[in-house]
Each structure stands twice: as C-alpha cells, then as structure tokens.
Amino acid sequence: NIRETAQANKGVHIPKSTKYLKDVHFTEPCGPFRWYNGSVGRCAQAKQRGWMQGQRLKNSGEFLLHVIKNAECNTELQGLDVDSLVIEHIQ
C-alpha cells in the first residue's frame, strides 16, 4: 500500500502532496492501485484518477505524511524554500 501511495505523490510539489495525503487519510475513500493490484477491488473513486482498481490507504497515507513533514522540517533547517520542492524519489 505504501508503494502505491508513494507513487501517486512522485513528481508533485510538497504542499500539493500533503493535501493529497490528508485527503486520503481523512476523507477520500479510495486510492489508486497500479502495480501490486492482485485481490484489490474496483471502486469509482479510482476511476476519477484514471485507474480501475483502488483501496482505502489510511495507514500508508498517515506514514507518508510523517515522512513528508520530516522532509519539510529538514529543508527549513537548511534554509531552502519548502513550496518550490518537488518529490523526485520516494519509497
């Protein structure tokens, strides 16, 4: 589940990624599954993102939210602009 959530955030700016992860964690009922999608059901919310299969990603969204918050704090300590950062590699 974490891989699928991480790939959905790859190539996205930090503020947009945190908004997506908060939506997945609190409100959105379904996130897309692209690669490891065996035994994953279909849902209408995944179709909105262009995929057929999806599942609730509450725990992995919470974990990645903590990882991105940690990256935000590290960039602020280094004196960089957080809004201009893009997630290039995430696992």
Structural domain tally of the chain?
A: 1
Residue 87 in domain: no
The pLDDT tens digits of the residues spanning 19-67 come to 877 877 676 666 666 655 665 666 666 666 666 666 666 677 788 889 8
Q: Tell which residue, 36, 20, 39, 16, has the closest CA to residue 28.
A: 20
Note the pLDDT of residue 70: 92
Domain that holds residue 65: 2-78
Residue 86, domain member (yes or no): no
User: Helices 58-78 and 14-22: crossing angle, nearest 10°?
Assistant: 150
DSSP label at residue 50: T
14 in a structural domain: yes
pLDDT at 40: 63
Question: Regarding predicted confidence, which is higher, 6 or 31?
Answer: 6
For residue 59, the domain's CATH number is 3.90.470.10
According to the model, what pLDDT value does residue 29 have? 65
State mean pLDDT over 4-16. Answer: 82
Q: What is the pLDDT of residue 44?
A: 63
Region of residue 39 (phi > 0: left; psi between -120 and 50: alpha; otherwise: beta):
left
For residue 15, is it within any domain?
A: yes
